[in-house]
Structure 1
Amino acid sequence: MSERLEPLPQEAYGWHYATVPQWADSDVYGHVNNVAYLRYFDTAMNVALLEHGALDLSASSAGPIGLVVRNGAQFFREITFPASLRVGVRIEAIGRTSLTWGFGLFDLAKGACAARGQFVHVYVDRATRRPMPLTPALRACADALFRDPATVPVTDKQEAPK
């Protein structure tokens, strides 16, 4: 994430996950620590994968695993405990062996995008750790969550999804 990102509205994301900060997420300065934002994004991503049938957590699973090869966040507004949060999730790019995930973290009381994040997952064979093509389930999940970043208007107007 080298370019400057702008806050996006909740409608820019095709799937949402509700969460709240834990007391331990706050740092000595009284706001939610930056690393907690990445945990919120990671949890939302994995729940989205589960809900779309693209993540098998069983011990007998033989499918590929997603390795995070890049992540980052850009912060716009402070979040303090307590808060009601929503993580917007979308796929921003689909590769042969990878997915680029985009996230927006919204403070529902303030109605604003507090941060945006991005993860790049490369899917690899569990044993060899060599990249593998996306499975049909991963591809279906990616297609369902895809939002073309070039067509999403950048706005600071934040409203709840309809």
Structure 2
Amino acid sequence: MTVESPSATATALAHGRLIPVTVHFDDLDALGMLHNARYPLLVERAWTELWQEHGVRFDGDWASAGDACNVVKELLISYEAPVTRPGTYAVDLWLDRLGTTGLTYGFRLCSADGSTTYATGTRVLVRLDAQTLRPAPWSEDFRAAGRALLRSER
């Protein structure tokens, strides 16, 4: 079996960016469904991959983390249908809002081709200054990459 890297198969959609993710057998709960706590984890992994394509990454040093120094302020998720087997799925990602120090992104955990939705949600992030842990502005490079993901500009 050939497994392509997620970035090699990422797809641009009219409503977001589709990033492949893998559900493993041990992600399933005792009922054979994807555990509710795994949905946000899959979304986090997809966002991490997307931002790493733009040079945003955390390598263990908060002082040099730049835009990767951020925290979650809010997470909302709605479970639409159960994921009942391991395999390749996707996370559809977009930005609903890009502020000076915060952003709101939307997501959808879906089938690999994007045709079936399993969960939808939003997450609010706040960029922090690593020294003060107070809100800090996103860099211009980050904002430029983010503008391309804004739903309103599609």
User: Shorter-chain TM-score: what band?
Assistant: 0.7 to 0.9
Match of 1:134 in 2: 138
Q: Which moved more, 1:109-118 or 1:13-22?
A: 109-118
* Structure 1: distance between partners of 2:99 and 2:114: 35
Match of 1:63 in 2: 66
Deviation (angstroms), 1:92: 0.6
Q: TM-score, normalised by structure 1?
A: 0.77
* Structure 1: distance between partners of 2:98 and 2:45: 20
Q: What does the per-residue CA deviation read over 1:22-75, in whole Å, with 9 as the maximum and x for residues that have no partner?
A: 111111111001110000111111111111233353647252411111112111
Matches within 5 A, 1:34-45: 34-45=36-47
* Structure 2: distance between partners of 1:147 and 1:109: 20
Structure 2 stretches lacking a partner, 5+ long: 1-11
Deviation (angstroms), 1:11: 3.7
Q: Does 1:88 align with 2:64?
A: no
Paired residue total: 141
Match of 2:24 in 1: 22
Q: TM-score, normalised by structure 2?
A: 0.81
* Structure 2: distance between partners of 1:110 and 1:132: 35
Match of 2:8 in 1: none
Match of 2:56 in 1: 54
Work out whether residues 53 and 137 of structure 1, in 8 Å CA contact, stay in contact via their aligned partners in 2.
Answer: no
Match of 1:105 in 2: 109
Work out whether residues 83 and 107 of structure 1, in 8 Å CA contact, stay in contact via their aligned partners in 2.
Answer: no
Structure 1 stretches lacking a partner, 5+ long: 1-9, 153-162
* Structure 2: distance between partners of 1:12 and 1:77: 23
Deviation (angstroms), 1:13: 3.4
Q: Which moved more, 1:41-50 or 1:104-113?
A: 104-113
Higher relative contact order (CA 8 A, sep 6+): 1
Q: Which amino acid in 2 is paired with 1:66?
A: N
Work out whether residues 18 and 114 of structure 2, in 8 Å CA contact, stay in contact via their aligned partners in 1.
Answer: no
